[in-house]
Amino acid sequence: MSLLVVGLSHRSAPVSVLERASLSADTKTKLLHDTLAAEPATEATVLATCNRIELYADVDKFHAGVAELSTLLAQHSGVALEELTPYLYVHYEDRAVHHLFSVACGLDSMVVGEGQILGQIKDALALGQELHSAGRLINDLFQQALRVGKRAHSETGIDRAGQSLVTFGLEQLAAGTPVAEWARGRRALVIGAGSMSSLAAATLARVGVAEIVVANRTAERAERLAEILVASGTGVRASALAMAAVPDELTRVDVVVSCTGATGLVLTADDVLAAVSWGAAGEPAPAEQGALGAAPQAHPAGPPAGPEAAMPDGDVLARLVAAAEAGGRIADAGAARTISASADAAADGCPVGPDGRSALTGVDANSLELHGTWADQGEAAAQRQPRRTARAQAHATDVRLALLDLAMPRDIDAAVHRIPGVRLVDIESLAEASADAPMAADVDAVRGIVAQEVAAFGAAQRAAHITPTVVALRAMAAEVVAMEVARLDGRLPDLDERQRAEVTQTVRRVVDKLLHAPTVRVKQLASEPGGAGYAEALRELFDLDPQTVASVSRADAADPKNDDDPGRAS
């Protein structure tokens, strides 16, 4: 086994690099084709999720393999190699197995113990099988990883050590309030209809939102997801929506969850600002607008038209967005980004006033730009002060629109965190929030399982490596027996069939007994670390033809009975 993995994840790279290095479905296919075409690799597959990109390959040369796989990742991700290299990690042989098993158990996830990674590992295996880039090693490795992940979840309480990314994200949006209490009666918009978006929609229905609207580029998938939600028995109302109608729908919803495969932004700062500004301009008063700290209210049919809509100047907004990107983002209690004017805003010099949300309407461009500067100063000052608890912030913040962005690259403009009344939780903020999360005692038990499974997998692979040599040895012994029996027939032609059969069986028993102890022992030795040399020693001692051994290996790999059913493993 010469398993090599080269990759980057949320643990090694900043979100900005992960976003740029994300791989589309077509790019993953091209990456695998090019990996197989490269000299060091004989089989490969790619595991690409929201927060990791990893290329797995069976290579015959370590250094050449690392160089080739790193170069291919850079070429297909669109990030220059010199920029990508500092964030790459490399694992080889048993360490590579340990890494994948840890990933499968959720130990390497942003939220420890989340189970969604198992589906992503299954997808990576299916892609390798579909493209015929996954051979015996990759198939065995990923199927075993699925089994190890399922074992960890069934035998331990790892699920209690962390939650799914969706549930954890909703908890961050709720900011200390029980999610079921926070979500009750809300109206939610889910953008996307893939696996993560479907999970988000199901989670929202389970925690008690009143209505879910699904928007997707393919209308049929959105409609299908809405039908499933209605039939789920949760009592949630669900409907589908065209993507073009999303900006208008923002004015009617309280919660947005987005996870699409788009390469650009799905929700811009303009979209979000327009939605909350319209909400602030309408009646009733802001305190009755159904903010996420109060009871939900029915929303009018659409945004007002004409002068009363008074939106801020677009150039000013562009400058605010640019300032956000240049100045970076400051975490709110290690989780969501929320900018909200405090009661002391006017005294501190904020031109918008204490009710920043309602005051957006009609504000002149200069005041809005000054408010952006004031908000930045407030964030910097807050960072220097002791952090308030998430619960305290939830009570202090009037959130008009809660946004959960689970996409990589991001679907929602990071600059929306500057808009008063908007709360944004994204992949980056989830990483910050979970970094200091307490590790449950069950994590140690899962680590023990991983260690056991890595040792067992390595032993099985090393034992399998010597099997073709043992088979070739026994085949050679059978040929020797056949030749000697033929010579005996020439010397003793008067033997009857019964006598000939008895002699033949006796010779075979002698050969089998002579080979039994050495072959069993050599398998045991080969299964131990450093045992790879026993196969070569066996070939040398018995002068076995390398081509014969290779042909046995090919036949063994081609036998479908030797392949586990991947569906059964997952």
The catalytic residue positions are 50
Q: List the beta strands (DSSP E) in 157-246.
A: 187-191, 211-215, 237-241
**Integer Cα distance of 152 and 446 in angstroms:** 6
Q: Do the bridges between strand 255-258 and strand 337-339 make them parallel or antiparallel, or are there none, so unpaired?
A: unpaired
Under DSSP, the state recorded for 559 is: -
**Contact present, 20 and 3 (Cβ < 8 Å):** no
Per DSSP, the residues of 406-428 read: --SS-SB-GGGGGSBTEEEEEHH
The one-letter amino acid at 90: V
Name the residue among 102, 116, 53, 47 with its Cα closest to residue 79: 53
Name the residue among 265, 215, 241, 211 with its Cα closest to residue 413: 265
Name the residue among 293, 290, 260, 256 with its Cα closest to residue 271: 256
Helix (H) or strand (E) holding 405: strand 401-405
Name the residue among 365, 364, 371, 372 with its Cα closest to residue 324: 372
Under DSSP, the state recorded for 388 is: P
Question: Which residue's entry shows tokens 């009018």?
Answer: 300
The two tokens of residue 434 are 């979970």
Under DSSP, the state recorded for 176 is: T
**Contact present, 406 and 49 (Cβ < 8 Å):** no
Q: Do the bridges between strand 422-426 and strand 3-9 make them parallel or antiparallel, or are there none, so unpaired?
A: unpaired
Task: Spell out the long-range contacts of 221-230 with Cβ–Cβ below 8 A and sequence spacing 24 or more.
Answer: 221/193, 222/193, 224/193, 225/190, 225/193, 225/197, 225/198, 225/201, 228/198, 229/201, 229/202, 229/205
The two tokens of residue 171 are 């908890």
**Angle 143-147-150 from CA coordinates, rounded to 5°:** 140
**Integer Cα distance of 499 and 492 in angstroms:** 11
The half-sphere exposure of 549 on its side-chain side, counting CA atoms within 13 A, is 18
Work out the burial of residue 247: count CB atoms within 10 Å of its CB; fewer than 13 is exposed, 13-18 middle, 19 or more buried. middle
Instruction: Give the SS3 label for residue 107.
Output: coil
C-alpha dist (Å) from residue 294 to 168, 178, 182, 184, 297: 22, 14, 9, 11, 9
**Integer Cα distance of 26 and 107 in angstroms:** 29
Name the residue among 142, 10, 114, 96 with its Cα closest to residue 435: 10
The two tokens of residue 386 are 């002791």
The two tokens of residue 530 are 């450093």
Under DSSP, the state recorded for 543 is: T
The half-sphere exposure of 560 on its side-chain side, counting CA atoms within 13 A, is 3
